[in-house]
């Protein structure tokens, strides 16, 4: 059985650091090259997207102008849109619902003032930061100061992480 190589002293540790530094520098250089290539491709893609958007906007402005000249009886209408069919597709003019922006504090005050409490949502959530202060982890379980096991908490141990920091 062959023995795997292990670091036995500081000189060997320094040697492995030097060996890996060369590899890491090459990887870093290659990553930088790839990132530059990605950025170049991203710029090209953005230009194509802009060109596509411009073509669609121009087409849609012509179609909207034409759509407004079509007699109403030839359009199919609903509350939210109008349609006109062509052999190659449909021209659809949509009427989206208005955007509603709420100031929840003012709205809540109004609801309470008008005694409409059925329209108030109350959420109960544990105050974990405060509960954590009066508990500790013992044998993989969270327990209170008097030893009672706290239910609803799973403790997942994580392995230590070794880092090498260059000086």
pLDDT in tens, 93-148: 999 988 889 999 999 999 999 999 999 998 999 999 999 999 999 988 999 999 99
Note the pLDDT tens digit of each residue in 39-65.
Answer: 999 999 999 999 999 999 999 999 999
Cα–Cα distance, 103 to 111 (Å, whole number): 12
CA atoms of 155 and 132, how far apart (whole Å): 12
For the chain, the maximum distance between any two Cα atoms, rounded to a whole number of angstroms, is: 91
User: What is the Cα 37 distance to its own chain's centre?
Assistant: 25
Element (H, E) at 62: helix 10-67
């Amino acid at each position: 059985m062959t023995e795997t190589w292990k670091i036995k002293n500081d000189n060997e540790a320094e040697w492995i650091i030097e060996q890996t530094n060369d590899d890491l520098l090459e990887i870093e250089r290659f990553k930088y090259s790839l990132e530059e290539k990605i950025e170049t491709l991203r710029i090209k893609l953005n230009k194509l997207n802009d060109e596509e958007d411009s073509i669609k906007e121009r087409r849609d402005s012509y179609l909207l102008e034409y759509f407004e000249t079509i007699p109403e009886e030839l359009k199919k209408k609903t509350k939210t849109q109008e349609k006109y069919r062509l052999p190659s597709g449909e021209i659809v003019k949509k009427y989206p619902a208005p955007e509603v922006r709420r100031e929840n504090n003012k709205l809540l005050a109004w609801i309470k003032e008008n005694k409409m409490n059925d329209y108030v949502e109350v959420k109960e959530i544990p105050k974990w930061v405060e509960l954590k202060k009066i508990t500790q982890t013992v044998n993989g379980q969270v327990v209170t100061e008097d030893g009672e096991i706290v239910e609803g908490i799973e403790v997942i141990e994580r392995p230590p992480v070794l880092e090498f920091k260059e000086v």
